Amino acid sequence: MNLRSIFSAVFLAAITLAMLPISAFSADLPDLGGKEVTVVTENAYPPLQFVDPKTGKPVGWEYDAMNEIAKRLNFKIEYLNTSWDAMIQAVSDNQYQIGMTGITINDERKQKVGFSEPYMRSEQFMLVRSDEKRFTDAKSFSESKDTLVGAQPGTSNFYVAVYNVLDGNEQNPRIKLFETFGATIQALKTGDVDLVLTDSTAGKGYVDASGGALKLIGGPLGAEDFGFIFPKGSDLVAPVNAAIAALKADGTFDALNKKWFLDYKLGQ
């Protein structure tokens, strides 16, 4: 079954579920009484969250999901921005109440912050220039000694590059570090690096927006679950988890998948 058929089937299921009353899924959700919640993001990971170049406004899957969670739980959101390398520590220090930017759930990060239940599962793929012929998968990239990979330090993309593509040396000179994911994409386009690792959803977004300049190669290099982060012990975790379960059950997340991972790309 092709991608369009898969999402068409998913969307029909979502429409069927959507015909049921919302109360069937969310009657037991807690009411947070209109409290204000600070949500921080990076706005650099399309289609999860990014600044729309046409409007200058931040948009994306995570914004739509978080806005719907706030609506179901009755809280008001103040969106703020920070860099990826500062986000986890800032949330850990209670500077923000929720963080969202496609954050992979792992044991190391759980030492600093609390996680929601997963709202999305993604796999890592190899994003390259469309004329790349020197390598076709992780093994052949590793053997092409003159090639470079771009990554943000401390991210899943970085660790997959180190341990799944290269030799396990985090100081390997073939890894060029950048402050933002967008900077790695720009470096790929200009030829400063030859490979960027990305989850499948964001990777497809960059390919579709590249006008034929980029492509995905090879198979998936691993699966990862994304979650929202909170200061440890936050009383928001349980309500948000309940809302996530409701949004999965009533087809809202399926509809967002269609909007951001199919319709959005086809419309670019």
Residue with tokens 């003159």: 146
Q: What is the pLDDT of residues 34-57, one digit of tens each?
A: 999 999 999 988 889 999 989 999
- State the Cα–Cα distance between residues 27 and 29, nearest whole angstrom: 6
Conformation bin of residue 59: beta by default, left when phi > 0, alpha when psi is -120 to 50: beta
The per-residue b/e assignment along 87-119, b for 16 or more CB within 10 angstroms, e otherwise, is: bbebbbeebbbbbbbbbbbeeebeeebbbbebb
- What tens digit of pLDDT does each residue of 85-107 get? 899 999 999 999 999 999 999 99
Looking at residue 76, the DSSP 8-state letter turns out to be E
pTM (global) more than 0.85: no
State the pairing for strand pair 120-129/195-199: antiparallel
Q: What does the pLDDT read at residue 6? A: 36
* CB hemisphere CA count around 257 (13 angstroms): 23
Domains of the chain: 3-119+227-266 (3.40.190.10), 122-223 (3.40.190.10)
- Return d(Cα 217, Cα 215) in angstroms, integer: 7
